[in-house]
Amino acid sequence: MKSIFFGLVLSIILCSAGHAQQNLTLFLMHDLPQANIVNPAVTARCKVNFGMPGLASIHVNYANTAFTASDLLVRNGDSLYFQPGDVIDGMNNKELFATEVHYTPISMGIWIKERYFTFSISEKVTSYNTVPKELAQLGWYGNTMFLGKDAKFDGLRVNANHYREYAIGMAKEKEPGLVFGYRAKLLFGKGNVYTPKTTGRLYTNPNNYSLMVELNSTINTSFPIEVTTDDDGYVSDIQLQEDVDWMGYMMNRRNMGIGFDFGFIYQMDERTTISGSILDVGFINWKTDTWSFESLGDFEYSGTGNEDGFNSSDYFSELGDDLEDEFMPIPISRNYTSSLVPQIYLGATRTLTDHINTGVVLRNEIYKNKLHPAFTLSANTYNYKTLNGSLSYSAINGEYLNIGAGLGVKMGAFHIHAITDDLFAFFDITKTRGANLRFGFTFMPGCNPDKMKVSPKGIQALPCYHSPYKGEKTSGKKKRRR
């Protein structure tokens, strides 16, 4: 059935109404080895640490920049009504919709002389999509509101990924108080839906309701699907392959890619520290079960010449059939490349006491040449032997009242962490544009809290084995003070 193709794309967009990776509260919690995930310059003080097998780190994210569930579903008495009109009218020119699930079953950090090395394996499912306001208006209101002007489709993008990541990183102090970190990532793609670019418009003549439609769109997929075409080579049906080898899907190594992360920490003085990172600079080359669906051309519909005909069911039925015949895509089996979504973090802290600092984080995500910013203020603890905490305020996804919290608890060699950028989202998920959570367990053998040495007043504060600041080091039995 031809409509299955358009239904597939629409489902991807609607079901991915989440958001892009945040990790704003985590960024300044440098007591936690997991902070290395968002800044490869972060090092642990213990000589070695292991993520608990299967539970090293789990990260889930949901959000969008346009609406909350309660904006769409309005309660009247005991009934709920779907009313997207106000939401659509309040949209910006383009809105971002995205989701993330990151599962890291294996991770490790180890000091070798003056360098801190990390290794991890992660399974990542991500979706980053943009929807233009005029397309949403056209879908809900029809083309009546666009009489005499264009309804533009420019900016519709889909980028849904499933890939496995093998990452190895290294951090080293280049000079006293300045640490640089690097991470290289080998990627193996499993599944993908990717639109490199979509342009188009619909013009409705205000006199006779004739239509002019122009469309230039390509949708690339790498997934075990079967595509059936008609005699003219156009898509007639899309189905999941019968007897899919899901083990082969999960172990597929043909869709290879690379990625890079870079970070730094600079301690300006005894109280002020600046840190930053650039993450996910890279791409994946898709080669297995690949299809490209191209819709290209223009179409003119003469209309009926009267308003009654414009509102009739026959008008829309005939128009829909003609549009489907004109713009039904032609499938092509070919390889393609999709890019990762780079993220930029910049943070600074200022110590208030021997155990508390305040910080600020600016974060930008670069998707399709557009910045998606976020801002966080936080208060963080450091230099406590068994507890690391953070309380944050963030402006995310167009919302300006997000209270986050982070907690790290050290129970001997076992450490547990849980972090979110919007704590209250879990009390009523219908009234938020986003919710995220990261949690996991770490094992740090031979890192005795009774032998910890107080670190400089920066943002890193697990003083058990090694400090990258000002040449300070400890190794359990021996301690050298400046």
Residue 17 pLDDT exceeds 80 = no
**What integer pLDDT is reported at residue 423 of this predicted model?**
87
- pLDDT band at 473; cut points 50, 70, 90: very low
Class of domain 3-480: mainly beta
Q: Kindly tell me if the per-residue pLDDT of 89 is higher than 50.
A: yes
pLDDT at 323: 62
pLDDT at 146: 85
- Residue 313 pLDDT: 54
Residue 205 has pLDDT above 70, yes or no: yes
Looking at residue 369, its pLDDT comes to 61
pLDDT for the residue numbered 92: 82
pLDDT bucket at 19, cuts 50 / 70 / 90: very low
**Per-residue model confidence as pLDDT tens digits over 360-398:** 999 988 766 666 788 899 999 887 778 889 999 988 766
User: Is it the case that residue 6 has pLDDT exceeding 50?
Assistant: no
What confidence tens digit (pLDDT) does each residue in 344-354 have? 999 999 999 88
Give the per-residue pLDDT at 215: 84
- Give the global pTM: 0.81
Res 251: pLDDT: 94
For 285-339, the pLDDT digits (tens) are: 999 999 999 887 777 777 544 444 455 555 556 666 666 666 678 888 899 999 8
Region 225-241 average pLDDT: 85
3-state secondary structure the chain: CCHHHHHHHHHHHHHCCCCCCCCCCHHHCCCCHHHHHCCCCCCCCCCEEEECCCCCEEEEEEEECCCCHHHHEEEECCEEEECCHHHHHCCCCEEEEEEEEEEEEEEEEEEECCEEEEEEEEEEEEEEEEEEHHHHHHHHHCCHHHECCEEECCCCEEEEEEEEEEEEEEEEEEECCEEEEEEEEEEEEEEEEECCCEEEEEEECCCCCCEEEEEEEEEEEECCEEEEECCCCCEEEEEECCCCCHHHHHCCCCCEEEEEEEEEEEECCCCEEEEEEEEEEEEEEECCCEEEEEEEEEEEECCCCCHHHHCCHHHHHHHHHHHHHHHCCEEECCCEEEECCCEEEEEEEEECCCCEEEEEEEEEEEECCEEEEEEEEEEEECCCCCEEEEEEEEEECCEEEEEEEEEEEEECCEEEEEEECCHHHHCCHHHCCEEEEEEEEEECCCCCHHHCCCCCCCCCCCCCCECCCCCCEECCCCEECC
Q: What is the pLDDT of residues 141-164, one digit of tens each?
A: 888 888 888 888 888 888 899 999
Lowest mean pLDDT among 70-79, 150-159, 247-256, 270-279: 70-79
Per-residue confidence band for 184, with pLDDT thresholds at 50, 70 and 90: very high
Considering the chain, what percentage of its residues have pLDDT values greater than 70? 81
Confidence of residue 250 (pLDDT cuts 50, 70, 90): very high
